[in-house]
Chains A and B, each alone.
Chain A
């Protein structure tokens, strides 16, 4: 479910579907710029109601982003 939401957001940004994989790095592989990264955070807030900051110095894979989202969802009171 989380990966589906993330994938939808990336597709809306115009990221080619074939490049959206668990091991794809946000910056190195998907070439996301800072505005696109912010848009992913806004999209996750809208769709899943979680606050996830992706603007860290460390490049992250999509699997690592999903882990962050899962943890954020678990910590968010329902």
Chain B
């Protein structure tokens, strides 16, 4: 295989399908002005369910983005991915028919697969019998379906992968998608992921992890780093970023939002400790040839469980030292819910939009700051020059990812 070494991966397109907005403009307007999309579940009657709130997308019509024959064969999480991919390609002004299809890859994360079609399949099996299950059950539920249908739709044939890695699924897609360009396999990568767990069965299964909030008030259900935080609130949606080698982006005169300057992944074999999380953050900053003093804003994992937030705050405090009380930290997912497969890439999109607009993403207000999480949280709309951000992601069992994003 042809192998060329390149040194820079830039981001030239952003596609967002999110509870806080479909399209980057609506999303960013809501995130910078503190409008939460966490609401009481309306997708199904949640009476009697242990989870009552979620970040739901309520104004999305698949047919606005996707050919009808694709809609019928795929689950909601693939609809979101196909729509986000289309938005990202348009935003990047990129016509893939003009590109070498063997040099374009799709690197996605997804944790849960397609619960919507699973529930339909179970219903068909138990009510109508084994010969009446829909013919898409086997392919549409599968976590790689989003990658598969994006590649089919655009005729993409380059090096591609999907990752199932809990809350770090999206981060894994981004990390290895960047590598696929740096190692010379691809010129262009659609990096991101998708998730759609808001179904009766999906929400029930996630609740069984013990990490999802049982709070009923949408205003206070998701409060990362608050002393009284009660766990995660789930969201749904997809974010797709167009990554390109700098050489490729320059050659076609693309608008560059920013650069993935460095990325690092480590694993804590004991997830109650953050030894290697701290090492991950330090390495990402060092690999960017920066110091912690250069980081303008941190977008942490901030999943909202008691244990995980404490571990992350300690890691950040260790890395940032005396600056820890000053560096802005913000958890925009507190407005749209944890997106698992689309997590991390959505916060990378927030980093790029911060750089472009000079506005910081805000987060749900903190009623009582956890004394063990003394950081400078951005709970009010504010303007700031942003040149470098740190974006973290961490899976339940201790897989860590850190990225430094710059202007490029």
Binding site for B on A (CB under 8 A): 12-15, 34-36, 38-39, 42, 45-46
Q: How far is the CA of A36 from the CA of B70 in the complex (A)?
A: 11
Q: Judging by beta carbons under 8 Å apart, are B72 and A14 in contact?
A: yes
CB distance from A76 to the nearest CB of B (A): 16
Cα distance A65–B73 in the bound complex, in angstroms: 23
Main SS of the interface on chain A? helix
* A contact residues around B250 at 8 Å (CB): none
Give the chain A neighbours of B71 by CB distance below 8 A. 14
Measured CB to CB, the nearest residue on chain A to B67 is A14
List the B side residues contacting A13 at CB < 8 Å.
69, 72
Q: Which one of B131-139, B215-223, B363-371, B395-403 contacts A?
A: B131-139
Q: Are A35 and B135 in contact (CB under 8 A)?
A: yes
Within 8 A of A (CB), among B68-84: 68-73
Whether B135 pairs with A38 at a CB distance below 8 angstroms is: yes
Which residues of B have CB within 8 Å of A15?
A: 69
Listed from nearest, the 9 A-B pairs whose CB atoms lie closest are A14-B68, A14-B69, A38-B135, A35-B135, A39-B135, A14-B72, A13-B72, A35-B136, A42-B132
Chain A residues with CB below 8 A from B128, complex form: 46
Question: Cα distance A20–B68 when bound, in Å?
Answer: 16
Interface size class of B (residues with CB under 8 A): 10 to 19
A12-B72, A13-B69 known, 17 other contacts, Cβ within 8 Å? A13-B72, A14-B67, A14-B68, A14-B69, A14-B71, A15-B69, A35-B135, A35-B136, A36-B135, A38-B135, A39-B135, A42-B132, A42-B134, A42-B135, A45-B131, A46-B128, A46-B132
Q: Which of B53-111 contact A (CB under 8 A)?
A: 67-73
Q: Write the nearest CB–CB distance from A44 to chain B, whole angstroms.
A: 12
Question: How many angstroms from the CA of A14 to the CA of B67 in the assembled complex?
Answer: 8
CB distance from A19 to the nearest CB of B (A): 12
- The number of A-B residue pairs with CB atoms under 8 Å apart is 29
B73 near A35 (CB under 8 angstroms)?
A: yes
Bound state CA distance, A46 and B129, in angstroms?
12
For A38, what are the chain B residues with a Cβ–Cβ distance below 8 Å? 135
Distance (Å) between the CB of B61 and the closest chain A CB? 14
Report A24 CB to chain B, min CB distance, Å. Answer: 15
Closest Cβ–Cβ distance, residue B291 to chain A (whole Å): 55
- Rounded to whole angstroms, the CA-CA distance of A42 and B125 in the bound complex is 13
A45 touches B72 (CB 8 A): no
- Measured in the bound complex, the distance between the Cα atoms of B72 and A38 in whole Å is 13
Give CA–CA (A46, B134) in the complex, Å: 12
Write the chain A residue with the least CB distance to B73: A35
B72 — which chain A residues lie within 8 A by C-beta? 12-14
The smallest C-beta distance from A9 to any residue of chain B, in angstroms, reads 11
Q: Complex: how many Å from CA A48 to CA B201?
A: 31
A-B contact pairs, 8 of them (CB 8 A): A14-B67, A35-B73, A35-B136, A35-B139, A36-B73, A38-B135, A39-B136, A42-B134
In whole angstroms, how far apart are the Cα atoms of A45 and B134 in the complex? 12
Residues on the B chain within 8 Å of A42, using CB: 132, 134-135
Nearest-neighbour CB distance to chain A for B65, whole angstroms, equals 14
Contacts of A12 in B (CB 8 A): 72
Q: Return A61 CB to nearest CB of chain B, in Å.
A: 20
Contacts of B131 in A (CB 8 A): 45
Shortest B169–chain A CB gap in Å is 26
Specify the chain A residue showing the minimal Cβ separation from B138: A35
Residues B158-178 near A (CB distance < 8 A): none
Report how far A13 CA is from B71 CA in the complex, Å. Answer: 9
Residue A45 contacts which of B67, B69, B70, B132 (CB distance < 8 angstroms)? B132
A14 to B66, CA, bound (A): 11
CB neighbours (8 Å) of B134 from chain A are 39, 42
- Which residues does chain B contribute within 8 Å of A35, judged by CB atoms? 73, 135-136, 139
When chains A and B are docked, how far (Å) is the Cα of A46 from the Cα of B73?
Answer: 19
Q: How far is the CA of A35 from the CA of B69 in the complex (A)?
A: 11
List residues of chain A with CB within 8 A of the CB of B73.
35-36
